Amino acid sequence: MKEILSTKNSMIKELKKLHKKKYREENQQYIIEGFHLIEEAVNANAKVKWVLFNQRGQLEWSAWLDDQPQELLVFVSDEVLVSLSELPTPQGIIAVLEMPVYDENLHLGGSWLLLDNVQDPGNVGTMIRTADAAGLSGVILGEGSSDIYNSKVLRAMQGSNYHLPVIRKSLEDIIDNFKERDIPIYGTELNPEAISYTNVSKVKEYALIMGNEGQGVSQKLLEKTDQNIYIPIKGKAESLNVAIAAGILMYHLECHE
C-alpha cells in the first residue's frame, strides 16, 4: 500500500488533471468519489487503478479496504484528498478508474435511449440512471451531450453506467444502423405529425431520442425518425424537464414479458 502526504507529489498532480475532460480523454481515466460509487464500480468489475483514502475513509470502510488488492490502495493526507475532491465535504475515499472500451460492433438490439445535445450534467446522469432502472439495453450520447465522466454526471448516474453500456457516437450514423435492423425510432417533438405517447404501443425494440433542454431534438434527426411523439401538458406548465419526460416515455415504451 502506498502513502502520499503531500499535494506536491507527482502522482497527485497528474490525477488532479483528470478533473478536465481533455486529460481524461488523453489518459482514458476518470475519478469517482464516495464509497457507494466505488463499491458499485468494484462489484461491476470496472477497471480500478487506484483507491485513495484518508484517515476517515480508513476508519469507516476498513473491512472493505482489507478485501481489496493492496497494490491498488493509497493512504493520503486530508490535504491531498481535499485537493482531489470536487465535493464541498469529501467522504474520505476516491478512486481512479480506466474508461471502458466498447466493441465498435456493439449489438444494437433491444431498447436504446439516444441523447442529442443534452448539456446539463444532472439531466444526462438522471436519464442514464432511469434507463438502467427501466431496463433499457443502453444509452448513446450524440454530439454536444455532457461528458459522462463529469463529476456531476457520475453522481447523478449513481453507478448505473456500470450496469449498461453508455457510448458516444454520431446519432445520424447510429439511427441508420437501427433502420437497417427495422427497429422503430421515436423522436420527441410537438408538431402536427406527432402523436401522444399514450397512442404508442409497448415494443420489444426501439430507439428513443431526447433533445437539448432548450432547442429539443435537431431537425435533421427528426427527419429520420419513424414517429415523433409528445407528452400532453394538462396543467399550465410550458413544458417538462427533459429527464422527467424521458422517464415517462421509457417506462411507457418498455415491454417486459
CATH topology of domain 2-98: 60s Ribosomal Protein L30; Chain: A; (3.30.1330)
Any idea where the domains of the chain sit in the sequence?
A: 2-98, 111-253
Task: Please measure the distance between the N-terminal and C-terminal CA atoms of the chain and give it in whole angstroms.
Answer: 49
Domain range 111-253, its CATH number among 3.40.1280.10, 3.50.50.60, 2.60.40.10, 3.40.50.970 = 3.40.1280.10
Residue 193 banded pLDDT, cuts 50, 70, 90: confident
Sign of CA dihedral 21, 147, 38, 244: positive
Encode pLDDT of 237-256 as tens digits: 988 999 999 999 999 998 65
Residues 49 and 100: their CA atoms lie apart, in Å, by 12
Encode pLDDT of 49-94 as tens digits: 999 999 999 999 999 999 999 999 999 999 999 999 999 899 999 9
Residue type, 120: D
- Does the predicted TM-score (pTM) go above 0.85? yes
Give every strand in the sheet of 29-33, ordered side by side. 2-4, 73-76, 48-53, 93-98, 29-33
Q: Are strands 48-53 and 93-98 parallel, antiparallel or unpaired?
A: antiparallel
